[in-house]
Chains A and B, each alone.
Chain A
């Protein structure tokens, strides 16, 4: 499975090492200039717009479903053909005014409603996992980088250990063995548990080089505590790195959640999830391609949007730094 965040982060890390870190340790681009550069980038804006649409969809799911007329769990036996194993009646998997995206074969559940509610699951898990991963990554990275020595050694070993783990296999194994309650929270925890070292490694490296800089030295000389230095002096200087890294991580988590649900260890049915919809569409794609296309396209576009967005933000941040 492609672990997009890992690979992107590996790329980020490798790129950073190759340049010997001179750029990243200089003060970052200001948020406002970042935003201005961003607005000029059409691809980035389009991606951001799509992400916004998905977020809106997730937030207003109950409302949208009221508009469309069918809930995500509601059966519509009239929309499928009992003589053909439950194939949706009508064109494109039952697309029409009644069911905007058609229905699921067999039980006639409304695909639009399931997509909309699936967006909730995808976004919640991906965003929560990103938040937790970033927090862990930043905190441990800062601690390891700033204190160095034994602390650094212990944290680095733990990171090495976690990165050596075949995360996907392990996630599946653990999730399949654990009870089904609170599956969404569990997904967030498991994904973050294996995800944080990738960010921490980079934060650690940058902290190590920032630590040597004059402004940190002078803060130290003026008697600031370690906590003050870490959070007041070093952390603000890492903000662009963190923004870039977290944006780059989100698509990976969207993909991971969908992948785990695809393999049947993610969100528990009947809660809708895009990965799960794709999994159950496998046997139907030859006769009802729409059933596969809708969740497949929504998922692909979401991951793509986050990836492009992350890529653009990274470029803008880098060029901004270059100019500064």
Chain B
């Protein structure tokens, strides 16, 4: 077990390192010169050279990458003298456009993103699993076909189309909901709920549809397994058969896929946050892309990749705990 764990951790570190390297290379090649951005409107070539030297931008690529990597663990200092700027660990870089450490910018936006993500996850789990169960129980009946149709629609509607339609309908036309604003829960729980409801729905609809289908397929399959039939034949009450024999194995795959999906939400919330003007990490990425603020884009990319890798890892570990057979084969 320990060896397995160590292996996985090592693999994770390698993937993360590669993500860092790849991202850094791409942005190193594409990014506009930060020295020019700092220098402003009335700039001379000498001033640019001065700034480049100050920030170590004249160093070779590998040296800069090393500074970046070590900044993640021990922090780093941009520039020298009176104008030096400290960036404490974990330093994801420094945005010269907004003059902020990237880590701070992300941390400031994280609560909103977390609210959007957790709410959406709860919603799609509840909606997806219950709809899937209903669908499975009524297999082949009208309800089942209706839910299946809904899931196909849910999977197909682009989330910005849904977001705009909902906003037009519920906010502009009917006035039932406010234009989403990041109202803190502590300030007004009801307003908090009302404001975040649309983003939650929009962000969860695609996943809810997939989870419905997964749950349905798994439950139907499990019900056909021999041991369930046996249990039924033994005369156990249907409720007991359901709870003890059908539900648990049917839901295990859901739990595992949920980990990965949840970890991927940070990147996924980009459109939802942008359309609704919620200042989360996704919106930060979108804004930075418009402003060509590469350090921030890179920071968010790395964070998102980190979450996905860690999410995968947690899922693997959970899976191992649930099903010891995996340990031997260790499928990729």
A contacts B directly in the complex (CB < 8 Å)?
yes
Identify the A interface with B (CB < 8 A): 1-4, 7-8, 10-11, 14-15, 17-19, 156-157, 159-161, 163-170, 172-174, 176-178, 201, 251, 255, 258-259, 262-265, 278, 282, 285-286, 289, 292, 296, 299-300, 303-304, 306-308, 311
Q: Which of A4, A156, A306 has the most CB of B within 10 A?
A: A4
Asked if A300 meets B268 with Cβ closer than 8 Å, knowing A19-B221, A165-B19, A166-B304, the reply is no
- Contact present for B164 and A292 (CB under 8 Å): yes
- Contact present for B271 and A164 (CB under 8 Å): no
Contacting residues, chain A, for B304 (C-beta < 8 A): 166, 169
- Contact present for B286 and A304 (CB under 8 Å): no
* CB-based nearest A residue for B266: A166
Please tell me if B53 contacts chain A, counting CB pairs below 8 Å: no
Contacting residues, chain B, for A166 (C-beta < 8 A): 264, 266-267, 300-301, 304-305, 308
For the A-B complex with A156-B332, A289-B168, A304-B152 known, give 20 more contacts whose Cβ atoms are closer than 8 Å. Answer: A11-B213, A14-B253, A17-B253, A164-B312, A166-B266, A166-B267, A168-B268, A169-B267, A172-B270, A172-B289, A259-B160, A262-B160, A263-B274, A278-B160, A278-B161, A285-B168, A292-B164, A296-B165, A304-B153, A308-B152
- Contact present for A176 and B15 (CB under 8 Å): no
In whole angstroms, what is the CA distance A300 to B292 when docked? Answer: 31
* CB-based nearest A residue for B311: A164
Contacting residues, chain B, for A296 (C-beta < 8 A): 161, 164-165
Contacting residues, chain A, for B118 (C-beta < 8 A): none
Per-residue CB proximity of B100-133 to A under 8 Å, as 1/0?
A: 0000000000000000000000000000000000
Please tell me if B285 contacts chain A, counting CB pairs below 8 Å: yes
- Contact present for B168 and A173 (CB under 8 Å): no
Chain A min CB distance to B164 (Å)? 6
Which one of A169, A201, A299 lies within 8 Å of B285 (CB-CB)?
A169
Within 8 A of A (CB), among B129-183: 152-153, 155-161, 164-165, 168, 172
Please tell me if B206 contacts chain A, counting CB pairs below 8 Å: yes
* CB-based nearest A residue for B332: A156
- Contact present for A168 and B270 (CB under 8 Å): yes
Contacting residues, chain A, for B266 (C-beta < 8 A): 166
Within 8 A of A (CB), among B249-283: 253, 257, 260-261, 264, 266-268, 270-272, 274
Chain A min CB distance to B274 (Å)? 7
* CB-based nearest A residue for B309: A164
- Contact present for A307 and B158 (CB under 8 Å): no
- Contact present for B270 and A300 (CB under 8 Å): no
Chain A min CB distance to B255 (Å)? 12
Within 8 A of A (CB), among B1-38: 11, 14-15, 18-19, 22-23, 26-27, 30-31
In the assembled complex, 25 residue pairs joining A and B whose CB atoms fall closer than 8 Å, in A order, are: A4-B156, A7-B206, A10-B257, A11-B213, A15-B217, A17-B253, A18-B217, A18-B218, A156-B332, A157-B15, A159-B332, A161-B15, A166-B304, A168-B271, A169-B267, A173-B26, A173-B294, A177-B30, A263-B271, A278-B161, A292-B168, A296-B165, A299-B158, A303-B157, A311-B152
- Contact present for A169 and B161 (CB under 8 Å): no
Asked if A4 meets B206 with Cβ closer than 8 Å, knowing A285-B164, A286-B172, A304-B153, the reply is yes
- Contact present for B31 and A177 (CB under 8 Å): yes
Contacting residues, chain A, for B156 (C-beta < 8 A): 4, 251, 300, 303-304, 306-308
Please tell me if B246 contacts chain A, counting CB pairs below 8 Å: no
Contacting residues, chain A, for B264 (C-beta < 8 A): 166
In whole angstroms, what is the CA distance A177 to B28 when docked? Answer: 11
In whole angstroms, what is the CA distance A18 to B309 when docked? Answer: 23
Chain A min CB distance to B36 (Å)? 15
Contacting residues, chain A, for B267 (C-beta < 8 A): 1, 166-169
Chain A min CB distance to B299 (Å)? 11
- Contact present for B271 and A173 (CB under 8 Å): no
Contacting residues, chain A, for B298 (C-beta < 8 A): 173
Asked if A282 meets B164 with Cβ closer than 8 Å, knowing A169-B285, A169-B304, the reply is yes
- Contact present for B210 and A8 (CB under 8 Å): yes
- Contact present for A176 and B292 (CB under 8 Å): yes
In whole angstroms, what is the CA distance A1 to B31 when docked? Answer: 25
- Contact present for B15 and A160 (CB under 8 Å): yes
Asked if A1 meets B159 with Cβ closer than 8 Å, knowing A7-B210, A173-B297, the reply is yes
Contacting residues, chain A, for B257 (C-beta < 8 A): 10, 14
The 5 closest A-B CB pairs, nearest first, are: A2-B206, A166-B304, A166-B267, A177-B30, A304-B156
* CB-based nearest B residue for A302: B156
- Contact present for B205 and A2 (CB under 8 Å): yes
In whole angstroms, what is the CA distance A164 to B264 when docked? Answer: 9
Chain B min CB distance to A54 (Å)? 14
Contacting residues, chain A, for B272 (C-beta < 8 A): 1
Chain B min CB distance to A180 (Å)? 14
* CB-based nearest B residue for A262: B160
* CB-based nearest B residue for A281: B164
- Contact present for A164 and B308 (CB under 8 Å): yes
Please tell me if B69 contacts chain A, counting CB pairs below 8 Å: no
In whole angstroms, what is the CA distance A316 to B99 when docked? Answer: 58
Contacting residues, chain A, for B159 (C-beta < 8 A): 1-2
Please tell me if B214 contacts chain A, counting CB pairs below 8 Å: yes
- Contact present for B155 and A161 (CB under 8 Å): no
Contacting residues, chain A, for B237 (C-beta < 8 A): none
- Contact present for A265 and B253 (CB under 8 Å): no
